[in-house]
Amino acid sequence: MDRSLHRSPRSTSLGRVNGYDPSTALVVVDVQNDFADPAGSLWVVGGDEVVSRINEEIQRATAEDAVVVYTQDWHPPSTPHFAKDGGIWPVHCVAGTWGAELHPELVVAGPSVHKGSNGEDGYSGFTMRDPETGEDEPTELEAFLRDRDVTTVVVAGLATDYCVLGTVLDARRLGFETVVLSEAVAAVEVTPGDGEKALAEMAGAGARVV
């Protein structure tokens, strides 16, 4: 069943720190085969290992009637995001392919926001960048959360230094209290240390890294 909205300090978990409730949303970022499976075209080392940790958090969130929502890269075959079309990344998460699917071991307990469907660039689950005008435009994620009176977002997924970072910075910019689960993310690390730098940047923006 298609659940896409657009179509119709390293400690214990948040569940043990300050709990979930209906005003909280767990946002699971881009846990897709191309990122989370070693056979994926843009595998994030350790991406497969965080799936079970994310599943634990999904179970805690659903037990407390919190919102759970997923994001997915959902690219066309050609987009300025890809190196073959002038971008920096190998082809990945092309709409309708195995690589774009959520990892088969990931528990799915809510809808998914697709991003980049029309060739937009960017990383955040909240915004995309028009490839022609360069202007940012929203995805459906903010409206989905506002409609459910969510005030706090908890972020997990892939990758720490790109899509997780972009999603967290936008969440803070939009006024959401934001928590990052450091044991439920993994980094690309084009440059060694990028993951830790990203976590520090999120903390500097007012997110709580636990």
Q: Any idea what the CATH number is for the domain that residue 158 is in?
A: 3.40.50.850
Q: Rounded to whole angstroms, how far apart are CA atoms 43 and 113?
A: 21
Q: Quick check: is 26 in a domain?
A: yes
| pTM for this model (two decimals) | 0.91
Residue 12 belongs to some domain of the structure: no
Contacts of 91-99 with C-beta under 8 Å, sequence gap 24+, read: 91/41, 92/34, 92/35, 92/40, 92/41, 92/42, 93/30, 93/32, 93/34, 93/35, 93/42, 98/33, 99/32, 99/33, 99/34, 99/40, 99/41
> What are 72's strand-pairing partners?
114
Q: What is the mean pLDDT of the chain?
A: 91
Domain count, the chain: 1
Which among 187, 193, 46 is positioned nearest to 123, based on CA atoms?
A: 187
On the question of pLDDT at 4 being above 60, the answer is: no
pLDDT recorded at residue 18: 59
Q: What is the pLDDT of residues 141-195, one digit of tens each?
A: 999 999 999 999 999 999 999 999 999 999 999 999 999 999 999 999 999 999 9
Q: Is residue 10 part of a domain?
A: no
Is 3 contained in some domain?
no
In a domain, 88, yes or no: yes
Active site residues: 30, 115, 163
Measured CA to CA in angstroms, residue 130 lies from 32, 75, 135 at distances of 23, 13, 5
**Residue 1 forms part of a structural domain:** no
Which of residues 86 and 188 earns the better pLDDT score?
188
**Residue-wise pLDDT tens digits, 59-69:** 999 999 999 99
What residue numbers bound the domain in which 100 lies?
19-209
